[in-house]
Amino acid sequence: MPLIAKQIYFGFLFITFCIYSFFVYTSDTPSDAKELMTTDAQAGKVIYQQNNCFSCHQLYGLGGYMGPDLTNVISAPGKGEIYTKALIMSGTQKMPNFHLNEQEINSLIAYLKYVDKTGVSPTIKYSINSDGSVNYNQ
């Protein structure tokens, strides 16, 4: 390839890269995701971080493994908002009671609702047998 052709080709790629980068870095978050993240949910996110829920729980599959994944606890059959509230209010033998007030718990619920609407976890269905082996259920 002659040098001029290489330069034109490189220039074309460079300009395309710049235009693409501009759109990637200036495009906004989709508005429906923004609407779900209410000020209450934002406050709940801070409470979640301050109390280190991440050390035992996963969201979107990431976090600690002592407690269950909380991504879809709000919509899981047999669980839901009231169950979640009750568990946070009382704690269990393994999970501490954080002595949060009503407002803080409501914010946490708003945050968990946001997480539930924006993710699914785990993405594959499996069950663990008593001998530790795993069954994948499609």
Contact residues for ligand HEC (CB under 6 A)? 48, 51-53, 55-57, 66-68, 70, 73, 79, 84, 87-88, 92-96, 98, 108
Query: For the CA atoms of the chain, what is the radius of gyration?
Result: 22
Nearer to ligand HEC, 31 or 123 (CB): 123
As measured in angstroms, the least distance from the Cβ of 14 to ligand HEC is: 48
As measured in angstroms, the least distance from the Cβ of 110 to ligand HEC is: 12
Tokens of 35: 């609407």
111/40 Cα distance (integer angstroms): 7
User: In this structure, how many other beta carbons lie within 10 angstroms of the beta carbon of residue 108?
Assistant: 26
As measured in angstroms, the least distance from the Cβ of 46 to ligand HEC is: 11
The whole-angstrom distance between residue 84's C-alpha and the CA centroid of its chain comes to 17
The CA-based dihedral angle spanning residues 120, 121, 127, 131, taken in that order and rounded to the nearest 10 degrees: 180
Among all chains, which residue has been given the structure tokens 């499609």? 138
Nearer to ligand HEC, 28 or 95 (CB): 95
Residue type, 12: F
Nearer to ligand HEC, 11 or 68 (CB): 68
Nearer to ligand HEC, 24 or 124 (CB): 124
As measured in angstroms, the least distance from the Cβ of 103 to ligand HEC is: 14
